[in-house]
Amino acid sequence: MINQAALALGTKRNTIMELADYGRSRAAIVGKENVFDFSIGNPSIPAPELVQSTLLDILQNMDPITVHGYTSTMGDPKVRAIVAQDLCERFGCDSKAEEILLCCGAAPEVAAACKALTTEGAEILVFAPYFPEYKPYVEQAGAIFRIVPADIPDFQINFSALEELICPNTTAVIVNNPNNPVGAVYSEATIQKLSALLERKSEEFGHRIYIIADEPYRELVYGDAKVPFIPNIYPHTVVCYSYSKSLSLPGERLGYIYVPSAAENGRDLYHAILGAARAMGHVCAPSLMQLMLSRCAHLHPDLSVYDRNRRTLMEALTSYGYEMAKPEGAFYLFLKAPSGDDRAFSAMAMEKDVLLMPGSDFGCPGYLRLCYCVSYDTVVRSLPLFEELIKE
Ligand code: PLP
């Protein structure tokens, strides 16, 4: 007997991965340079020089048994202390090593946090447009996946819809800031308002509603935009961080969970997440990457390449008549589908080998996601095609 839910998930794959696979197959036929693949958020800038040199140094000079061995399930205590110290310096919090759990990226972290916060009948809320993998994470945990409709055109939080959907079964809300697929940054005022609402509802329902803060793009912000550090506003928060985007290491699988002790039942929540991760097969984050992190946790990404792509696309697409949400973070533009039909427009673009994800896959029909973590040359050569598309 085969688990039918698992079969369905494996058969109808992640649509982003499917479109990216299609891009690779087209590249093999028409040449890589002729495919304008804006489908997937794979960083297009290399990992910082210090990351490369540190990895080489570790491999050449450290004991291979240590480098490739297991660490503690929570991660090497010294590395956890460095991560905690880095958080204190960046955000003025008082995080400690024992509140940090080194993990294999934001995906398993969010999945483990969902599991740890799922009790009988639990509901977990997400804000549209949302990262589509949240649905399988929430449902594998056994919780009900509830979508708060988008706040159009600002792409902050639709508070009136949230008030209607939040209920005594709600155990957590997932907040992704900066947001994939919009590139919007939830402001300090938005997070303050969310915090006040969750305080009020937790009181009313007689149990704590937690925030799961999914933050792989925390360092990727442009101009004056500021990403509020949610635990400083609402301590009942599980931070799920990843180095996939900030250090351009998505294939290396490294991130951390931070559960402040100030969160209600914070220590139990930390251990429940550890238990959930264990049940999902977590053993430890890659040892080589942990060792690298002990010397590179302070690094910030160089955003100049993404920023140039962002500004070039914004300017050109706006001049052709496209409308988009204000992109302040991550590396995504969220375009209004000119025809109103995102799937039809995405299919039309595909005919020209321009790959854009329909907003419907993120719970927001009528929009298209464009990942601008591509080469500048790809951006520039794609512009005439965008102009043709809107005319058509
Ligand atoms: N959450 C969001 C919003 C993402 O966009 C991604 C990846 O694109 C992930 C989680 C997964 O990231 P990771 O590579 O750290 O597992």
Which domains, from first to last, does the chain contain? 4-48+302-391 (3.90.1150.10), 68-296 (3.40.640.10)
Task: Determine phi and psi for 361, rounding to 5 degrees.
Answer: -70, -10
Decide if 258 contacts 239 (C-beta within 8 A).
yes
pLDDT one-digit tens code per residue, 304-314: 999 999 999 99
| Mean of pLDDT over the chain | 96
Ligand 1 centre to CA of 218 (Å) is: 11
pLDDT one-digit tens code per residue, 231-260: 999 999 999 999 999 999 999 999 999 999
Ligand 1 centre to CA of 106 (Å) is: 5
- 170-176/144-148 β-pairing: unpaired
Task: Determine phi and psi for 221, rounding to 5 degrees.
Answer: -135, 150
Nearest CA among 108, 101, 103, 145 for reference residue 127: 145
pLDDT one-digit tens code per residue, 19-30: 888 888 998 998
pLDDT one-digit tens code per residue, 312-331: 999 999 999 999 988 899 99
Mean pLDDT of 34-58: 95
Residue among 110, 130, 131, 331 whose CB has most ligand 1 atoms within 8 A, to mutate: 131
Q: Exposed e or buried b for every residue in 198-234, given b needs 16+ CB within 10 A?
A: beebbeeeeebbbbbbbbbbbbbbbeebebbbbbeeb
Pocket of ligand 1 (CB under 6 A): 41, 105-107, 131, 176, 180, 214, 216, 242, 244, 250, 255
Ligand 1 centre to CA of 216 (Å) is: 6
Dist. CA 146–CA 86, nearest whole Å: 34
pTM of the entire predicted model: 0.96
Rama region for 75: left / alpha / beta (φ>0; ψ in -120 to 50; rest): left
